[in-house]
Amino acid sequence: MLALRALNRLLAQHIRRPVVGCPWQLSPGCASSQACLNNGAASGSRAVVVEASRGSRARRLKCDNGVGEGWESVDYHSESGGDAYDDGYEEDPNDPHRAELLNAVVKVYCKHTEPNFSLPWQKKRQFSSTSSGFMVSDGPEKRPWVLTNAHSVAYHSQVQVKRRDTEKKFIARVLAVGTDCDVALLMVDDKEFWKGVEPLPLGSLPKLQDYVTVVGYPVGGDSLSVTAGVVSRIEVTHFCHGSCDLLGVQIDAAINSGNSGGPVFSEAGYCVGIAFQSYAGSDAENIGYVIPTPVIRHFLQDYSRNKKVTGFPALGITYQRLDAKDIRESCGLKEGQSGVMVRSVNPTSNSFGVLEVGDVLMEFDGVKIACDGTVPFRTSERIMFTFLVANKFVGNMADLLVLRDGTPTRLQFELGRPQALVPSHLNGKNPSYFVVAGCVFTSLSEPYLANEFGMDYATESPVKLLEKVYFGIPKKKGHQVVLLSQVLANEATVGYEDMENVPVVAFNGTPVENLCHLSEMVVNCKEKYMTFDLEYHQVIVLATEAAKAATDVVLEEYSIPNMASPDVREHLEKEKAGSGKRKLSERPSGAIRL
């Protein structure tokens, strides 16, 4: 349909007749549409409008043998007799391509300054990106905002937006970032930016086979781009940027680089989602993904309620489907009963101490869970039960019916956001680090792996690190995987220079809980040797006094401003103050001295 629309617009430049949005309709006596489409192919043919109803997206044409050759200009008049637009095109009030809707779509210009996770005391070279966004006013406060993707403004230094009808760029402030749902909220203070434009109305969740239109500023040009497709799938989808599973819409329209953050329109002209990612596999083409309006509204309501984004709650469990008859019988499920089995409970979640391994989740908020983990969703559709959990807000109560030891039991607890052992993102923060005698320690995160091993880190990273990413569970709140990132060459670390990307298990026999814990033990070490037990059956042993003396030399030689990141230094200062010990001395550069 859109390809035909584009063709019609091109022809309209020459014949000044209305652009049609549907396949050509021929009047009786016209053999084919080709006679109308071939400019000058049929000598003396001309196109005239014989029927045009207001609001109709199709106009009937007929071919007529007249005097003269080629196309003849045609004036368009609506039913009411009013004059047409200069281009001869009458806009359909339900047409998602009408100007007032497209004018609300903006181009987002962002300057990014990302941290260097390999050298965490440094920033990478600044780079630029362009993406899409749109004006919206759908929160409880009904104020106008600009929505775009979170990854479009990640580690932003400056954000500007530009409307399609002006060359002026406007400075935008990032009010909130929902990394898990990949949505960011921008505000433009300049009132000129909002003049003459109505924010887009948010629609409802589309249905399968609904026609949708993706609007934005993808690569390949500077002007607004429009592509079309249909809704091919609606299910809980993995959001790559936040490594979170939320409701998503799959469409068969291409979503290219630069489309991110742009609106997706329904045929009625409502915004039904935000374009945010596409399938990059070689075995499929034109698979794009859209953040639907229920997720967008959750984000907006979350921000309006809390003046910050608290995110989407989770149960903090891993579960197993009960498709096999034998396992259902062993759990005590009777005929007509169903559910999924709890296999682990995250100690940092609010469900810890409430749910137990072996429990069968039968219902969530009164909705029955099937043995495959799905629940009813609209007419004749099913969806994963985690959709019900993500629909709630942090702090809401979860009401579950579980089967424990063969007895149905009602349980309640407050929903929260469990901590992952390996964070999928740092929410815009800089990485933490600690340096002693050339040994650079940091905490493991997915951005770190992406920095070290590239965007294909899921296949290029060491297997043991990936095991922690996908299957690791923190032992308690604050638990981290502390990593020996690299060893900077100096006299104190001769023989250890090739060690890198190895998790630290213990320090002088004490298990390491997190980076702050390790730095605290190192600073307070009074033993003759510092022993770092590493995974893969490796160990680093350093003479304590020599290592501490070498630290200042390493900082100077490698232009490292501080031996620890600000958060680690703050922890060390609090620990010193709390223990009544003397405050850590500082070098002129601000680096803490061991």
- Among all residues, which ones are annotated catalytic? 151, 182, 260
d(CA 84, CA 428): 51
Residues 103 and 26: their CA atoms lie apart, in Å, by: 34
Token pair in block for residue 23: 């396949």
**How far from the centroid of its chain's Cα atoms is residue 223's Cα?**
25
The tokens for 37 are 């489409």
Contact between 305 and 282 under an 8 Å Cβ cutoff? The reply is no
Backbone phi, psi, residue 269, to 5° = 90, 10
Q: Is the dihedral of CA 468, 470, 472, 477 positive or negative?
A: positive
Count of beta carbons in the 10 Å neighbourhood of residue 496: 20
Q: Which two tokens stand for residue 81?
A: 């007799």
Residue pair 300/178 in contact by the 8 Å Cβ criterion? no
Which residue type sits at 4? L
Residue 564 and residue 572 in contact, taking contact as beta carbons nearer than 8 Å: yes
- The tokens for 528 are 């003759």
Q: Which of 152, 161, 169 is nearest to 112 (CA)?
A: 152
Alpha helices, H only, 361-504: 386-390, 446-453, 457-460, 463-471
Helix (H) or strand (E) segment spanning residue 108 = strand 105-112
- Per the listing, tokens 């005698």 go with 437
